[in-house]
Amino acid sequence: MASLRQFLEQAGKVVTGSCIPSAPCVAAKLKTEIAKNIKALQQSEVALILACGLGVQSFKENDRLGVTVMPACDTLFGAVMDRQGNFFEKCSLCAECVLDLTAGICPVTLCSKSLLNGPCGGVHQGKCEVDNQRDCAWVLIYRELDKQNKLESLKKIHKPKDFQKSARPHKLIMQ
């Protein structure tokens, strides 16, 4: 955070404050951070948001001052992060989860062809025919199910996905 502040100040920008909300997508937590930093926000023309697109939109929806929002990151996908800070897409958020049947490995995301009933005929030495540097998701699934003595679950034939469920944008109204 300090190096970004220094970079911005060297570029002639005035940095009025900074904060790192524990959960930028949780409105209550974000509102708490906004309240703690209200004086800095009142002095600001722009809020530079270093979060995914959801964090940017969450700030915008919860900011009552109307501060201009500037995204500092280009969101590519939802991911998990390893110890080195690398991000890896693991889930397509498809609304038809099969992780219970595939040992926690998502074939929709990790299979180049998003096969629900794999592997395809192109797997070679455990690698994907589309990208021979990539492990075949279905080989990974097989190995994990074998470790768990659950190979029987591979006999289940999955129906084609209902892509209507993953039409965008989603809305979930809690009543």
C-alpha–C-alpha distance, residues 59 and 41, integer Å: 12
Would you call the peptide bond into 169 cis, given omega within 30 degrees of 0 as the criterion? yes
Closest CA to 135 of 144, 143, 126: 126
Which pair of structure tokens corresponds to residue 54?
């959801």
List the beta strands (DSSP E) in 18-164: 46-49, 68-71, 79-81, 87-89
Looking at the domain assignment, is residue 84 inside a domain? no
Cβ–Cβ < 8 Å for 153, 114: no
Which pair of structure tokens corresponds to residue 26?
């949780």
Give strand pairing partners of 80: 88
Same domain, 113 and 60: no
Give residue 33's domain range: 2-71
Same domain, 50 and 97: no
pLDDT score at 47: 92
Longest dimension (CA), the chain: 64
Percent composition of the chain: helix, strand, coil (DSSP 3-state, to 5): 35, 10, 55
Same domain, 54 and 97: no
C-alpha–C-alpha distance, residues 60 and 50, integer Å: 13
Same domain, 155 and 111: yes
List the beta strands (DSSP E) in the chain: 46-49, 68-71, 79-81, 87-89
Same domain, 67 and 96: no
pLDDT score at 97: 85
Same domain, 60 and 99: no
Same domain, 65 and 115: no
Q: What is the pTM of this model?
A: 0.64
pLDDT score at 90: 87
Which pair of structure tokens corresponds to residue 23?
């959960």
**pLDDT (tens digit, 9 = 90+) per residue, 87-114?**
888 888 888 888 888 999 999 999 999 9
**pLDDT (tens digit, 9 = 90+) per residue, 6-19?**
999 999 999 999 98
Low-confidence stretches of the chain (pLDDT < 70) are: 168, 170-172
